[in-house]
């Protein structure tokens, strides 16, 4: 090892332990490699920029190390694969910039989706949710009702019913896509979320209550439990275990509810809280943290165990209200949208904005909130444009804009939810309608 001969350099464990030293070593290796490969100019300019001392000798070591590293990675991967008994879809790693980013995109972009089913409420539709398997959808409306829709039935209906005799089909109740309609709230249903494991739907409303429905029971009309709040509920989200519920209301204090007992907890530090109403709240899928966004223009990352605020991003969208947050599946990145019609991707480990997705809201400034989502593979980002009522779509890795998709709504689309498992999403609009969109080739025979 040349670490012994060169003064000032450290042994390997020391380097690995310290992040900055690791970086420094990496840069030095890069410069050495450049020298070695004959890119003199680049190497000199880089070493000037980084002010490396002592100067780096030309060396092939980096190539060598990369070779070793790739091999080790492969082995690691194999052992990991072998160790997991039931693995999820292996290629489904989602968005992660630490791994190869040049893999071809297999999922369809927004332009190729089609409307499969439309359901109408009696008032603006403002909330929707997919269950964990992507087979059930719930939509909530300002008319205080919740509809539960079955994805498979919608697909069957579309595939068979519409092709032959759409008018002559008697909508027998058993086979209707709308499984249930729940009227238990007294005011607008503002948010919905499915329990990750059990067939339970949680809904929050402006009537100051959170209600839990056992939607799988055919007799369900009313909630089997409810938590009464003292303010309008704006957003809620289940902990990945389904045992906890974090709730955002018109009041700036973030509440954490124990679903079992209905007890409420807050952070021990009052200064952790937002200063205005909370607009969105989401758990990371690993349960280690959750994020809240607020009207005060900031979003916060909270520790999932201690319920303390870890980080606050003030003025994340130029001081405008932050409308939605969404974690990537690996919980490393956070996607936010704001009333400045921009979507940003944040790296949480370094607390910085990685990618800026622009181009929405060019017609006019948006007035209402709008959510942005990843598609199921996290290759694309979908965001409804308020004035154009079309769907903006970006490649999540390089922020390249894709084809627009006209949504066919007559009013602003305030909510969009993508299925966690398949190429399908739901848009909710103020024109009272919720549309179910799907990629056709996937399901047709």
Partner 1 sequence: MAQAYDFALEKIGMDVYSYNIWNDYIIFLKSVEAVGSDAENKKITAVRKVYQKGIMTPMTNVELLWKDYCTYEMGINPMLGKKIIDERSREFLNVKRVTKEFETLVRTIDRNIPCIPPTIPQTADEIKQITAWRKFISWERLNPLKTEDILLVIRRVVLAYEQGLLCLGYHADLWYEVCAYLEQTSHGYSERGDAQLSKRFLDDAAILYERAIQTYMRSNMLIHFAYADFEEQRLNIDKARSIYNRLLDINEANLKDPTLAYIQAMRFERRTDGIKSARTLFKRAREDIRTNHQIYVAAALMEYYCTKDNNIAFNIFNLGLKKYNQNLDYILAYIDYMTHLNEDHNARVLFERILSPNNSIFKQLQPTIWNEFLKFESQVGDLQSIKKVEKRRLKIYSDLNELEGRETLLLVDRYKFLNLLPCSIDELKLLGCKDLSNINLSSTNTSVLTNGSIVNGTTLLEQAVRDRRAILPRPDIKHMMPFRPTRKPLPGSHPTPGGAFPLPDTALYLVKVLPPARNFEGPFVIIDELMERVTRITIPDSFDPIRFSIQGEVIRDLDSSNTNTSQQNRKIGHGDSDDEEQQAPLNVSERSTMDIYRQRQQKRVKLTKTNSTDQLQSLQRIATMTCFEDLSGEILMIIFEYMDVEDLWTIFFNMNTRFNTLVFDSRLRLTANISKIDKTKFDQFCLSLFQTNCNNIFILILSNNYYRYPQIRQFLFHTTFMYFQSLYSLILIDINYDELMKITNQIKQLSNLNHLHVNTHEIYHDKQLMNITQELFNQPNIHVLGLDFHEKIQWYDIKTISLSNIEVLSLNFINIDRLFLLLPCCPHLRSLSMTLDSRCNSLITNDNSESLSQSTITYPQITSLRFYFRSFNISALQRLLNALPSLKRFSIDTLMYKEDYIRASFWTLLLQQRLPLLERVRLVLRGFFGLESNEKINENRKNFIGGYQYDQYWLDRAHKKIFTCYTNDTSMVLQIR
**Cβ closer to partner 1: 239 or 317?**
239
**Cβ closer to partner 1: 1 or 84?**
84
Provide the minimum distance between the beta carbon of 437 and partner 1 in the complex, in angstroms, as a whole number.
20
Exposure pattern of 73-109 as b/e (b: 16+ CB <10 Å)? Answer: eeeeeeeeeeeeeeeeeeeebbbeeeeeeeeeeeebb
Quick one: 385 exposed, middle or buried, by C-beta within 10 A (0-12, 13-18, 19+)?
buried
Place of tokens 């308020």: 386
3-class DSSP state for residue 157? helix
Please tell me whether residue 4 binds partner 1 under the rule CB under 8 A: no
- Give the interface size with partner 1 as a residue count (CB under 8 A): 56
Please tell me whether residue 410 binds partner 1 under the rule CB under 8 A: no
Q: How far, in Å, CA of 33 to CA of 395, rounded?
A: 33
Please tell me whether residue 292 binds partner 1 under the rule CB under 8 A: no
**Of 123, 264, 353, 399, the one binding partner 1 by CB under 8 A:** 264
**Cβ closer to partner 1: 249 or 390?**
249
**CA dihedral sign, ordered 79, 84, 90, 92:** negative
Provide the minimum distance between the beta carbon of 339 and partner 1 in the complex, in angstroms, as a whole number.
24
Q: Do the Cβ atoms of 351 and 369 come closer than 8 Å?
A: no
Q: Is the peptide bond before 54 cis (omega within 30 degrees of 0)?
A: yes
Quick one: 243 exposed, middle or buried, by C-beta within 10 A (0-12, 13-18, 19+)?
middle
**Cβ closer to partner 1: 30 or 264?**
264
Please tell me whether residue 273 binds partner 1 under the rule CB under 8 A: yes
**Of 37, 214, 243, 320, the one binding partner 1 by CB under 8 A:** 243
Provide the minimum distance between the beta carbon of 237 and partner 1 in the complex, in angstroms, as a whole number.
13
**Spatial CB neighbours of 125, under 8 Å, sequence gap ≥ 6:** 139, 140, 141, 142, 415, 428, 429, 430, 432, 433, 434
Please tell me whether residue 160 binds partner 1 under the rule CB under 8 A: yes
Stretch that binds partner 1, among 29-37, 153-161, 380-388, 431-439 (CB under 8 A): 153-161
**Cβ closer to partner 1: 255 or 414?**
255
Strand 289-294 relative to strand 299-303, pairing: antiparallel
Q: How far, in Å, CA of 206 to CA of 292, rounded?
A: 19
**Of 2, 19, 98, 445, the one binding partner 1 by CB under 8 A:** 445
Provide the minimum distance between the beta carbon of 234 and partner 1 in the complex, in angstroms, as a whole number.
14
Other beta carbons within 10 angstroms of residue 373's beta carbon come to 22
**Of 11, 14, 63, 306, the one binding partner 1 by CB under 8 A:** 306
Place of tokens 């204090």: 253
Please tell me whether residue 420 binds partner 1 under the rule CB under 8 A: no
3-class DSSP state for residue 444? coil
> Residue 426 is inside which H or E element, if any?
strand 424-429
**Of 308, 356, 368, 401, the one binding partner 1 by CB under 8 A:** 308
**Cβ closer to partner 1: 105 or 169?**
169
Please tell me whether residue 229 binds partner 1 under the rule CB under 8 A: yes
3-class DSSP state for residue 297? coil
**Of 152, 314, 367, 400, the one binding partner 1 by CB under 8 A:** 152
**Cβ closer to partner 1: 168 or 219?**
168
Please tell me whether residue 79 binds partner 1 under the rule CB under 8 A: no
Provide the minimum distance between the beta carbon of 435 and partner 1 in the complex, in angstroms, as a whole number.
22
Stretch that binds partner 1, among 11-19, 97-105, 252-260, 426-434 (CB under 8 A): 252-260
Q: Do the Cβ atoms of 413 and 427 come closer than 8 Å?
A: yes
**Of 87, 101, 115, 362, the one binding partner 1 by CB under 8 A:** 87
Q: Which residues bind partner 1 (CB under 8 A)?
A: 81-82, 84-90, 152-153, 156, 160-161, 164-165, 168-170, 172, 174-175, 197, 229-231, 239-244, 249, 251-253, 255-256, 258, 263-268, 270, 273, 286-288, 304-308, 445
């Amino acid at each position: 090892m040349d670490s012994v001969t060169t003064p000032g350099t450290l042994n390997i464990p020391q380097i690995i332990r310290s992040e900055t030293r690791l970086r420094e070593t990496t840069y030095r290796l890069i410069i050495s490699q450049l020298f070695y490969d004959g890119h003199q100019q680049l190497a000199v300019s880089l070493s000037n920029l980084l002010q490396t001392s002592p100067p780096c000798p030309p060396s092939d070591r980096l190539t060598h190390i990369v070779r070793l590293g790739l091999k080790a990675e492969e082995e690691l991967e194999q052992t990991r694969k072998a160790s997991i008994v039931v693995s999820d879809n292996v290629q489904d790693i989602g968005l992660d910039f630490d791994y190869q980013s040049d893999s071809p995109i297999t999922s369809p972009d927004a332009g190729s989706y089609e409307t499969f089913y439309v359901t109408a409420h009696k008032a603006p539709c403002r909330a929707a949710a997919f269950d964990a398997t992507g087979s059930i959808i719930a939509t909530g409306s300002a008319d205080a009702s919740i509809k539960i829709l079955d994805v498979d039935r919608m697909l069957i209906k579309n595939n068979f019913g519409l092709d032959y005799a759409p008018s002559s089909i008697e909508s027998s109740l058993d086979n209707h896509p709308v499984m249930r309609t729940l009227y238990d709230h007294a005011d607008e249903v503002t948010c919905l979320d499915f329990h990750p494991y059990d067939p339970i739907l949680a809904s929050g409303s402006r009537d100051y209550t959170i209600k839990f429905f056992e939607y799988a029971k055919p007799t369900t009309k009313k909630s089997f439990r409810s938590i009464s709040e003292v303010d309008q509920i704006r957003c809620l989200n289940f902990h990945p275990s389904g045992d906890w519920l974090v709730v955002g209301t018109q009041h700036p204090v973030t509440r954490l509810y124990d679903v079992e007992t209905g007890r409420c907890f807050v952070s021990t530090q009052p200064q952790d809280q937002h200063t205005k109403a909370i607009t969105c709240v989401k758990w990371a899928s690993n349960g280690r943290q959750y994020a809240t966004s607020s009207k005060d223009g900031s979003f916060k990352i909270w520790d999932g165990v201690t319920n303390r605020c870890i980080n606050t991003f003030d003025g994340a969208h130029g001081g405008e209200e932050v409308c939605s947050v969404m974690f990537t599946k690996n919980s490393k990145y956070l996607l936010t949208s704001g009333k400045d019609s921009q979507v940003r991707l944040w790296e949480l480990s370094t607390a910085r904005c990685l990618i800026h997705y622009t181009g929405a809201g060019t017609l006019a400034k948006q007035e209402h909130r709008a959510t942005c989502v990843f598609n199921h593979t996290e290759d694309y980002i979908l965001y409804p444009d308020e004035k154009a009522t079309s769907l903006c779509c970006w490649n999540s890795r390089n922020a390249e804009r894709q084809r627009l998709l006209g949504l066919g709504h007559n009013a602003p689309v305030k909510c969009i939810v993508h299925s966690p498992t398949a190429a399908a999403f739901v848009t909710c609009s103020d024109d009272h309608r919720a549309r179910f969109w799907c990629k056709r080739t996937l399901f047709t025979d």
